[in-house]
């Protein structure tokens, strides 16, 4: 059973029925819980995770080109691409690792997501449990 405080904080989010990734992570940090707990609680409440910080989902109607913002042309330094490629295992890289790379290299999280996507690297797992 999810923590009552997590449920309360999701319920007061002004975007009824949707919980932006950044807000979910804020709730997790504030309550000092794993982000997956917030994601699980949101799913249990029927609340959709929205506006992925890596650009993978939540930017419009599903099935429409604007639904995700990965796949956009992005230019990042070769060292960023090297970090992404060396961190990928079996053609995958975790959301958490891409965040680390973005923080260490100064690119945005969306740029890191686009760079991984452009390299054909699948992003999984999600810290919130969305995928």
- Nearest alpha-carbon partner for 130 in 6, 7, 41, 28: 41
Q: Let me know if residue 118 belongs to a domain.
A: yes
pLDDT value of residue 14: 87
What residue numbers bound the domain in which 89 lies?
78-123
Judgement on whether residues 46 and 8 belong to the same structural domain of the protein: yes
Q: Let me know if residue 70 belongs to a domain.
A: no
pLDDT along the chain (131 residues), means of 10: 88 91 97 97 95 87 66 82 96 97 94 91 96 86
Q: Let me know if residue 61 belongs to a domain.
A: no
Number of domains comprising the chain: 2
Q: Let me know if residue 67 belongs to a domain.
A: no
Q: Let me know if residue 97 belongs to a domain.
A: yes
Q: Let me know if residue 69 belongs to a domain.
A: no
Q: Let me know if residue 30 belongs to a domain.
A: yes
To the nearest 10°, the Cα dihedral for 26, 94, 58, 107? 80
Spatial neighbors of 12 by CB under 8 A, at least 6 apart, are: none
pLDDT value of residue 74: 77
């Amino acid at each position: 059973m999810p923590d009552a405080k997590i449920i309360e904080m999701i319920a007061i989010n002004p975007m009824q029925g949707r919980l932006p990734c950044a807000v979910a992570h804020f709730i997790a940090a504030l309550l000092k819980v794993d982000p997956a707990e917030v994601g699980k609680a949101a799913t249990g409440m029927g609340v959709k995770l929205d506006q992925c910080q890596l650009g993978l989902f939540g930017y419009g109607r599903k099935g429409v080109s604007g639904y995700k913002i990965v796949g956009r042309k992005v230019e990042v330094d070769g060292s960023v691409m090297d970090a992404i490629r060396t961190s990928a295992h079996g053609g995958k890289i975790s959301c958490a690792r891409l965040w680390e790379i973005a923080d260490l290299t100064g690119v945005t999280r969306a740029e890191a997501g686009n760079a991984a996507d452009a390299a054909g690297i699948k992003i999984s797992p999600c810290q919130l449990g969305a995928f």
